[in-house]
Amino acid sequence: MQSILHLAVILSFIYMVNGVVLKSTMNNNYPQIAVLGCNSSKANLYYDTDKHVWVEHLISSCVNDEQSILEFCKQAYPSFRIGNIVRSDTVLRFENWCELISPIDKNGDNIHRCKQGSGTEEFVQPYRCLYLTSKREEITLPTVDCTMNSIIGTDQCLRAEQWRQLASVECENKNMNLNTSVMTLDWCGLSAFRGIEFVCCPTKKSNDNDYETSLDEQDDNDLLEDDPIQDGQQSSNQRIIAMTLASREPSWMEDYRRWNTDSAYFADDEDTNDDQTATEERERFAKDKESFKQKYKEQIDELKTRWQNQQKKIQFLVNGNVSAVREQIDIDFRREYESLKQAASQERTRLNELHEIHLDNMLNVAKAEANKKLINAWNNLPLKIFLFLNTYSFAFCSYPTKATRTSFFETDYVKHLKECLTIIEIEQDKEKKNYDEAIKNIHKALLALKDGLFGPRDGSSEPAISDVSQLCSGIYSQELLLAMINNLGRVTFEDRKEIVAIFNNLLRRQVGTKYPAVDHIMQRPVILFKLIEGYENADIALNCGMMLRECIRVQELAEIILKSDEFYKFFDYVQKSTFDIASDAFATFKDLLTKHKSLCAEFLELNYDLFFSKYRDLLNSENYVTRRQSLKLLGELLLDRYNFSVMTKYITNPDNLKQQMNLLKEKSKNIQFEAFHVFKIFVANPSKPKAISDILLRNRDKLIEFLTSFHTDRTDDEQFNDEKAYLIKQISELKEIKA
């Protein structure tokens, strides 16, 4: 609900007085946009050429490259045939541009537009959205000392920033500075043009006492609205968060960040004791780690700096193939990065191995001391020690109740549990003695297995990591996970809970950089499919759901399910007549579609038609809970930034609009309310296709009448009433779109 309300809050503030405000002077009325990129949660802006105001575009995705900037231009100006983009020299100052949040707290009070501390002032270089009949931007001489220049007719096709670099060099050759520039409208590619016109102005002389002040150091009162912001200020102003079309960092930096923040970066030494020796070893290891990280970071920083210097140099290549040079530079630096990464990996492995050797030596010393104490005790009280050992050996051989040696677990507990599971799987007669005996032994073995993984139930000690590792290896080699799941419906209620606990514990265990249970399941996807089938058995459905959701936390396992035919079984499971099972299945279904954003977005795009054809059935389900949960989830999916293309496709389909309008007429007020939050996305879309607009126009009077009387009992819900008023206004102002 929160994510659905998020859009509603923003929608109610479009065109309102407290929206974003331009504090700079604009001398043109061109279609243009202002964006902050994907690192910001603030809405993209576009310039309304009719009303002469900047408007927050509330349902557009973030933009981070040329193509996405062009797509946003097309979306913001559907009536123009936008074909290209170019970044303006002008820097615009905006106020009240902040991260928009839901303005209503739990009690319905404290209406706020902006997230506290998100900052409301931004300096941005806008992008002009070009179309075939665009007018050339006017360029004037600021003073009589300045000169008009151009570079045209060279048959060069260069990016805008490359032309500006050349223009800057041209001005420097005249002992002047580049003042302003505009691209010729003869474009030859995305943000690529065949020429530039520019103004060079004399270098400003300054006294020794004069110095340039950056915008960060100026008082806000000193910056007048009509003050032009010069290039010198742009370079020194750290607050300008404008998107640059040129790449700011090499592609391999993202790989470096992932490698450097790996959760398994170094060996885990949490099992060491807190004695003096262990403490000293931990401190030594910590120093080695920090030294290693610092050295590797310095190497990467130096490599990145050299890469950036090369990028600057190739901007001046006019007669050469810039793209080919850039590509070769990227290849060369990528090889150097991989070489550094390989050396760092080897060094990291060496540090880990050295640490493990030191820990093993400490353990051997401790074992020797324990053995010495045992011998001394034997010499002092031989008979008593003998009786204790004899009793222990008898109990150990009969049926062990605790983990003592992992090899015993692997050969006895694990194998014995597997044998007992095989017996109850084959034996059909539950009245037979061997079946009953197997059930009892399964219970004992599961408890012992759990003790081996978790440690004694009284919490007296922690299991040794090396012992647990060997125990897990035995579980995987004996294919125990699949055996436990296959027989989940045959064991007792309590043992099902033990199996769930063991399964989930194994799934979270990490060895180095790997998760053995995850690797094991990836090679045996039948385990996942058996868990999904568990929803068909009421006795084990909830147990299987808990294990499935634990698996879905791992993206690789979630991907296996999403790409399988078994995924579509959830459309039946969520409509089960048993409330508990249907609700649990829907919780799993929701996790699959929301846990891993990029994976889910890719899945929905590739399987849009099949998925939403089945999803329509959920929205029409006779099961009230299914219908309401599906509506709520639909709103979350459509409003997720990663699903922007899916949302765009969904809200341009007239059948989807008709379905939501029918759901608005449901008897259930809760269904109506959820449908309202999806319906408003159709109305809020600034680029409605003709089919959608026609439906709204044909039903305009009915919709206005319906919305006016819609949930009038919510008198205290100011946010909802604001939303209603906004939708009524939008629908009443709709104009017919000509074919």
Q: What pLDDT digit, counting tens, does each position of 459-500 carry?
A: 666 777 777 777 888 888 889 999 999 999 999 999 999 999
d(CA 271, CA 288): 19
Count helices and strands in the chain by DSSP H and E runs = 29, 14
Order of strands, edge to edge, in the sheet holding 92-95? Answer: 21-22, 92-95, 122-124
The answer as to whether 6 is a domain residue is yes
29 pLDDT more than 90? no
Question: Are the CB atoms for 664 and 672 separated by under 8 Å?
Answer: yes
Query: What is the model's pLDDT at position 243?
Result: 31
Beta-carbon count within 10 A of 685 CB: 19
Question: Are the CB atoms for 129 and 87 separated by under 8 Å?
Answer: no
Q: What pLDDT digit, counting tens, does each position of 726-739 carry?
A: 889 989 988 887 76
Q: Which domain holds residue 55?
A: 2-131
Strands, E assignment, 229-284: none
Pairwise pLDDT comparison (300 vs 249), residue with the higher score: 300
Of 340, 355, 370, the one marking the end of a domain is: 370
Question: For 63-67, 260-264, 298-302, 550-554, which range has the lowest pLDDT when averaged over its residues?
Answer: 260-264
210 pLDDT more than 80? no
Q: What pLDDT digit, counting tens, does each position of 679-708 carry?
A: 988 998 888 888 999 999 999 999 999 999
The answer as to whether 127 is a domain residue is yes
d(CA 568, CA 593): 12
Query: What is the model's pLDDT at position 487?
Result: 92
244 pLDDT more than 50? no
Of the ranges 247-261, 337-351, 624-638, the best mean pLDDT one = 624-638
Coil, strand or helix at 150 = strand
Q: Where are the alpha helices (DSSP H) in 77-138?
A: none
Query: What is the model's pLDDT at position 32?
Result: 94
d(CA 197, CA 164): 9
The average pLDDT across 288-300 equals 87
Query: What is the model's pLDDT at position 720?
Result: 83
Pairwise pLDDT comparison (231 vs 79), residue with the higher score: 79
Of the ranges 172-176, 377-381, 445-449, the best mean pLDDT one = 445-449
User: In which band, very low, low, confident or very high, does the pLDDT at 331 lie, cut at 50, 70 and 90?
Assistant: confident
User: In which band, very low, low, confident or very high, does the pLDDT at 140 lie, cut at 50, 70 and 90?
Assistant: confident
The average pLDDT across 195-209 equals 69
647 pLDDT more than 50? yes
The average pLDDT across 634-641 equals 88
Query: What is the model's pLDDT at position 343?
Result: 87
* One-letter identity of residue 281: E
The answer as to whether 437 is a domain residue is no
Cα-based angle 509, 512, 514 (whole degrees, multiple of 5): 60
d(CA 465, CA 471): 10
d(CA 321, CA 306): 21
Coil, strand or helix at 558 = helix
The average pLDDT across 292-317 equals 79
Question: For 178-192, 447-461, 468-482, 544-558, which range has the lowest pLDDT when averaged over its residues?
Answer: 447-461
Question: For 210-224, 433-447, 505-519, which range has the lowest pLDDT when averaged over its residues?
Answer: 210-224
558 pLDDT more than 90? yes
The average pLDDT across 510-529 equals 89
The answer as to whether 81 is a domain residue is yes
Query: What is the model's pLDDT at position 540?
Result: 93
Query: What is the model's pLDDT at position 261?
Result: 63
User: In which band, very low, low, confident or very high, does the pLDDT at 535 lie, cut at 50, 70 and 90?
Assistant: very high
Question: Are the CB atoms for 567 and 548 separated by under 8 Å?
Answer: no
d(CA 77, CA 115): 29
d(CA 370, CA 682): 74
Q: 577-600 in b/e burial notation, b at 16+ Cβ within 10 A?
A: eeeebbbbbbbbbbbbbbebeebb
Q: What pLDDT digit, counting tens, does each position of 98-126 carry?
A: 776 544 444 444 444 565 555 567 878 89
The answer as to whether 651 is a domain residue is no
Q: How is 461-514 classified by DSSP, letter by letter?
A: ----HHHHHHHHHHHHHTTHHHHHHHTTTTS-HHHHHHHHHHHHHHHH--BTTB
Question: For 252-266, 386-400, 631-645, which range has the lowest pLDDT when averaged over its residues?
Answer: 386-400
Burial label for 655, CB within 10 Å (0-12, 13-18, 19+), is exposed
d(CA 76, CA 66): 15
223 pLDDT more than 50? no
The average pLDDT across 662-666 equals 90
What dihedral do alpha carbons 430, 436, 441, 446 form, nearest 10°? 50
Query: What is the model's pLDDT at position 238?
Result: 28
Pairwise pLDDT comparison (550 vs 515), residue with the higher score: 550
User: In which band, very low, low, confident or very high, does the pLDDT at 607 lie, cut at 50, 70 and 90?
Assistant: very high
d(CA 485, CA 515): 20
Q: What pLDDT digit, counting tens, does each position of 399-416 carry?
A: 434 334 334 444 467 888
The answer as to whether 13 is a domain residue is yes
248 pLDDT more than 60? no
The average pLDDT across 271-291 equals 75
Question: Are the CB atoms for 30 and 49 separated by under 8 Å?
Answer: yes
Of 66, 99, 131, the one marking the end of a domain is: 131
Query: What is the model's pLDDT at position 470?
Result: 78
Which residues, 6+ apart, have CB-to-CB distance to 489 below 8 Å?
Answer: 537, 539, 540
Residue 211 to residues 128, 175, 219, 235, 237: CA-CA distances in angstroms?
Answer: 33, 20, 16, 15, 15
Q: How is 40-79 classified by DSSP, letter by letter?
A: --SPEEEEETTTTEEEEETTPPP--SHHHHHHHHHHH-TT
The average pLDDT across 273-285 equals 74
Query: What is the model's pLDDT at position 363?
Result: 78
Beta-carbon count within 10 A of 301 CB: 10
d(CA 178, CA 418): 79
User: In which band, very low, low, confident or very high, does the pLDDT at 348 lie, cut at 50, 70 and 90?
Assistant: confident
Query: In the beta sheet, which residues pair with residue 24?
Result: none
Coil, strand or helix at 91 = coil
Of 116, 131, 146, the one marking the end of a domain is: 131
Question: Are the CB atoms for 127 and 33 separated by under 8 Å?
Answer: yes
The average pLDDT across 534-555 equals 94
d(CA 714, CA 711): 6
| DSSP structural state of residue 29 | -
611 pLDDT more than 90? yes
Question: For 155-159, 324-328, 358-362, 705-709, which range has the lowest pLDDT when averaged over its residues?
Answer: 324-328
The answer as to whether 355 is a domain residue is yes
Query: In the beta sheet, which residues pair with residue 197?
Result: 150, 182
Coil, strand or helix at 426 = helix
The average pLDDT across 606-630 equals 91
CATH code, 11? 3.90.570.10
The average pLDDT across 115-144 equals 78
Distance between start and end Cα atoms, the chain? 37
User: In which band, very low, low, confident or very high, does the pLDDT at 503 lie, cut at 50, 70 and 90?
Assistant: very high
Pairwise pLDDT comparison (428 vs 280), residue with the higher score: 280
349 pLDDT more than 50? yes
Question: Are the CB atoms for 468 and 414 separated by under 8 Å?
Answer: no
The average pLDDT across 325-336 equals 80
Question: Are the CB atoms for 680 and 730 separated by under 8 Å?
Answer: no
Query: What is the model's pLDDT at position 592?
Result: 94
The average pLDDT across 504-533 equals 89
The answer as to whether 28 is a domain residue is yes
Cα-based angle 540, 505, 473 (whole degrees, multiple of 5): 105
Mean per-residue pLDDT over the chain, rounded: 78
Question: For 10-19, 294-303, 652-661, 671-680, which range has the lowest pLDDT when averaged over its residues?
Answer: 10-19
Coil, strand or helix at 330 = helix
Question: Are the CB atoms for 643 and 601 separated by under 8 Å?
Answer: yes
Query: What is the model's pLDDT at position 325?
Result: 73
Of the ranges 445-459, 497-511, 555-569, 681-695, the best mean pLDDT one = 555-569
Query: What is the model's pLDDT at position 165?
Result: 79
Pairwise pLDDT comparison (160 vs 543), residue with the higher score: 543
* One-letter identity of residue 637: L
d(CA 545, CA 584): 6
User: In which band, very low, low, confident or very high, does the pLDDT at 437 lie, cut at 50, 70 and 90?
Assistant: confident
User: In which band, very low, low, confident or very high, does the pLDDT at 265 lie, cut at 50, 70 and 90?
Assistant: low
Q: How many structural domains compose the chain?
A: 2
Pairwise pLDDT comparison (25 vs 654), residue with the higher score: 654
The average pLDDT across 265-278 equals 55
User: In which band, very low, low, confident or very high, does the pLDDT at 630 lie, cut at 50, 70 and 90?
Assistant: very high
